[in-house]
Chains A and B, each alone.
Chain A
Amino acid sequence: VDALHLFETVLLGSMSTEAYNGLWDGTTDWGGDEVAGAIEMFGAVLAYTNSDASTLSWDQAAQLVVDGDAAFTIMGDWAEGYFKAQGLEPGRTASAGHPPPAPTAPSSSCPTASCSRRSAKNRDGAIAWLTVAGSIEGQDAFNPIKGSIPARTDADRSLYDAYLQSAMDDWTGDTVVGSLAHGVVANDNWRSEIDSAVGLFLTDGDATALQDALVDACASAGPCS
């Protein structure tokens, strides 16, 4: 999944937002030059990854950035909460957020939702909790510490640090695209085919085979048939 996340980030970073979105509805050609260029860049980026990547959990990987052993890691905005818990300040000791090749908006949204069952035992308590969680006070108490942006646009910006403020601006100002690794843009079968193809590329580095497999995957499990 980590390699898949890196691949999708490079895909998004190396082509326009429209072209990236087109990959998922069949209007951008998986066999075309844009994807070939992305694969080439992906191969180059892989040369800068750590050899023990497959043995680390996300927080261990983020720790490498904290310790100065790694220059980038791709993670959700909760990594910002992790960095802050380590005593780092955004924009100074570590730069949270975009990996170098991705100039566009955060690549995905993973909203955290909670639901209440109609027959819940403690209905009043559940409603009270949801009311707090959805209120400005609740949002502003939780998000700055967790490292995420509020679900409301009327939250108090001053409570959020520089990175989260920039993420709030990106969220409202930029085009938001869906993430492959998080199951937003492709169905599970298609995502898994791409995951296999990227995994095979990690073992043999065969760019032509990867692109062929991506074309096949779109035809067999995506909209290209």
Chain B
Amino acid sequence: VKLNRDRLVAIGMVAPSALLVGVFVYGFIGWSMRVSVSQWQGLIPDYTFVGLENFTELFSDRRFQIDVRNTAVFTVVFLGGAILLGLALAILLDRKLPGEGVFRSLYLFPMAVSFIVTGVAWRWLMNPATGARTSGINLLFDYVGLDALQSQWHTTDPPWGIAYVAIPAIWQMTGFAMALFLAGLRSVPEELREAARVDGASEWQIYRRVVLPLLRPALLSAVIILGHISLKIFDLIVAMSGKNIALDVPAIYMWTTTFDANNFGRGAAIGLLLLVSVAVLVIPYLVYTRRQEAEL
């Protein structure tokens, strides 16, 4: 009887959140699927079935092609930058230098800022105006005599404009990658390093052959977490340049198609493609960690 009551209480505790997730996540995914194969345009729902028309139109849509290319460039630059810088900072902090706590907080703080705030601040910093109206980083370059480094920033011609948008994203998320790697470094047993030193390995070889391989789980977590942020990026770009097509990404296209154009069928199709792209990244990771937990 007691066991049954425990079970009932347990089910009762889980039920509300399971119900909410069921409705607001899985229910709405199902609804989006239904809308994505409908011809719903305008404010009145129209569930007339049109098959995969919304999807095939997207694949021949020049704007969507730009979106895919922009996402690819942004993801490569953002992940590469945040992970390399984060790893470098973590290795430096791991040297047990004085005031480590201060530096750690300092590098982690940008993560507490919303992408909107980051976007607005960096829009001012990366102002591309020239001549007397030069401002932001370009003006700084002018003061120190490095005019050659002045840039058009995110208004650079495609496909590289979007790469400059990755700079604020790197600034914001490097601290997070650093924290992940620092935790990974701290979990490397000192005995392993000692043993390598006894065997005559140089410090570089210790990192290359002993420490970095042991950081693979941290690296995987960083790629998954930063990768899904990158695929879904929206607020940072809107804050920096509005809905400028040169910097368009699927999330912005989904927004304008659904809520500016009231083309709900195509908007849902873009949303589902976004979901699939994130799922391709995240699901193997979830399977992998579950299997590891089962092994323990």
Contact = CB atoms under 8 A, between A and B. Distances in A.
A203 B66 contact: yes
B123 A55 contact: yes
Interface string A186-202: 01110111011001101
A199 B262 contact: no
B65 to A, nearest CB: 10
B158 A203 contact: yes
Interface stretch (B98-106, B124-132, B277-285): B124-132
A1 B257 CA distance: 14
Interface in B115-147: 123, 127-130, 132-133
Contact of B127 (A52, A69, A221): A52
Contacts of A187: 42, 262
Given A187-B42, A202-B246, A209-B62, A51 B128 contact: yes
Contacts of B62: 200, 209, 213
A50 interface: yes
Nearest to B158: A203
Interface of A (DSSP majority class): helix
A64 B140 CA distance: 22
A54 B248 CA distance: 13
B132 A189 contact: no
Contacts of A213: 62
Interface string B38-69: 00011000000000000000000011001000
B261 interface: yes
B123 A192 contact: no
Contacts of B246: 199, 202-203
Given A52-B155, A189-B41, A189-B42, A199 B244 contact: yes
A200 B245 contact: yes
A52 B151 CA distance: 12
Contacts of A192: 256-257, 260-261, 263
A188 B260 CA distance: 6
Nearest to B242: A54
B170 interface: no
Contact of A51 (B123, B152, B242): B152
B136 to A, nearest CB: 10
A210 to B, nearest CB: 11
B153 to A, nearest CB: 9
Contacts of B260: 188, 192
Interface in A168-225: 187-189, 191-193, 195-196, 199-200, 202-204, 209, 213, 221
A91 B137 CA distance: 37
Contacts of A209: 62
A51 B130 contact: yes
B173 interface: no
Contact of A202 (B127, B245, B257, B263): B245
A71 to B, nearest CB: 15
A65 B80 CA distance: 42
Nearest to B244: A54
Contacts of A54: 155, 241-242, 244
Nearest to B135: A52
A55 B119 CA distance: 11
A1 to B, nearest CB: 8
B83 interface: no
A200 B63 contact: yes
B240 interface: yes
30 contacts: A1-B243, A50-B129, A51-B128, A51-B129, A51-B130, A51-B155, A52-B128, A52-B129, A52-B155, A54-B242, A55-B123, A55-B127, A55-B240, A55-B241, A64-B133, A188-B261, A189-B41, A189-B261, A193-B261, A196-B63, A199-B245, A199-B246, A200-B63, A200-B245, A202-B244, A202-B246, A203-B66, A203-B246, A204-B158, A221-B41
Given A200-B62, A202-B246, 18 more contacts: A1-B242, A51-B128, A52-B128, A54-B155, A54-B244, A55-B241, A187-B42, A187-B262, A189-B262, A191-B261, A192-B256, A199-B245, A199-B248, A202-B245, A203-B66, A203-B157, A203-B246, A209-B62
Interface of A: 1, 50-52, 54-55, 64, 69, 187-189, 191-193, 195-196, 199-200, 202-204, 209, 213, 221
Interface of B: 41-42, 62-63, 66, 123, 127-130, 132-133, 152, 155, 157-158, 240-246, 248, 256-257, 260-263
- Lowest 7 CB-CB distances: which A-B pairs, in order? A199-B245, A192-B261, A54-B244, A52-B129, A54-B241, A189-B261, A203-B246
